[in-house]
Amino acid sequence: MSHSSVEPIEPAVHAASISVVVIGTRSSKLALVQTNYVRDALLAHWPGLEVGIEHITTKGDVILDRPLSAIGDKGLFVTEIEDAMRAGRIDLAVHSAKDLPSELPPDMTLAAIPIREDPRDALIARDGLGLAALPTGAHVGTSSLRRACQLRALRPDLHITDLRGNVDTRLRKLREGQYDAIILAAAGLRRLGLESAITELLDPTVMLPAVSQGALGIETRANDAAAELLAPLDHAPTRRAITAERAFLARIGGGCQVPIAAYAVLEGNTLTLHGLIGARDGRTVRGALLGTATEPATLGIALAEELLGRGGQALLQSE
């Protein structure tokens, strides 16, 4: 996702002259918490700025009777928001970065990636049990092919059932006994103040996170002055990690229909990228590569090609 080869166009209007911006967001409680975080950060850096919020309903919010993987659209939670940006109704959008397609349209840009929250997956079990202690045949809810694949590899005895709805809905379904346990992103639970519900945080060596999990992506129109407003919110180490993960995903070409995971860790100038390509039945090919922090996209592509060559391509073709 590097734009280094493209000469930036100087915006006609500079950030200092912008007095009003409108943020587009989904209407879920988590989306609004994330949007308010960005609004507050903008106001801290630009006193006097007026920040409006517009709620936008996306295809992914409307279709709740089918698994995400069955809908078959990489822009499930994004397309309508981008259309509002093109129409000039909003100036920027706050996304959970893992909802973003691996490649943005040419008229859009990822203007800022704030510091990442906890990237791990969280198990929430009704009886307070960890993953290893769940009884044989326990029903575990998840809407993610990535989580389901890794669960099947770890615990082939479990019954994996699709789980849709916002965080509150999913927790309610667990309390009602529809599931013995569910898996959600730790970041969303923390942002909502629900971390006390977590039974076990799953280490990335056990459950490799989704690409960009725990990070926010703030999108604007390409070459728009609003991007200048967002520059102070960008966290360079997080951007490097996310860039590597998104390059891995883009090279593989998977959307919601394929179990793919990636997680990058930055230490000094060294970036370590862990990746996984899976099949729905629990077969996986995984590995890790080290690279320089200054070339994260190169690292992502290199690991993708290695895993594809080690059996990942065959897994993708089997789906």
Query: Considering the chain, what is the average pLDDT of its residues?
Result: 88
Return the higher-pLDDT residue of 79 and 35: 35
pLDDT in tens, 119-169: 999 999 998 999 999 999 999 999 899 999 999 999 999 999 999 888 999
**Which residues are the active-site residues?**
99
Q: What is the pLDDT of residues 188-202, one digit of tens each?
A: 999 999 999 999 999
Specify whether 227 is located in the same domain as 240. Answer: no
- Whole domain around residue 198: which residue ranges? 121-202
Q: Is residue 207 part of a domain?
A: no
Q: 192 lies in a domain? A: yes
Identify the band that residue 14 occupies on the pLDDT scale cut at 50, 70 and 90: low
CATH of the domain at 194: 3.40.190.10
The pLDDT of residue 57 is 78
Structure confidence at residue 289 (pLDDT): 98
258 compared with 215, residue with greater pLDDT: 215
Are 226 and 186 part of one and the same domain?
Answer: no
Q: Are residues 178 and 309 in the same domain?
A: no
Among 179, 202, 225, the domain boundary falls at 202
In DSSP notation, the chain reads ---TTSPPPPPSS-GGG--EEEEEE--SHHHHHHHHHHHHHHHHHSTT-EEEEEE---HHHH--SS-HHHH--TTTTTHHHHHHHHTTS-SEEEEEGGGS-SS--TTEEEEE-PPP----EEEEETT---GGGSPTT-EEE-S-HHHHHHHHHH-TTSEEE---S-HHHHHHHHHTTS-SEEEEEHHHHHHTT-GGG-SEEEPTTTSPPPTTTT-EEEEEETT-THHHHHGGG--HHHHHHHHHHHHHHHHHT--TTS-EEEEEEEETTEEEEEEEEE-TTS-EEEEEEEEETT-HHHHHHHHHHHHIIIIIHHHHHH-
Same domain, 247 and 132: no
Domain presence at residue 149: yes
Domain count, the chain: 3
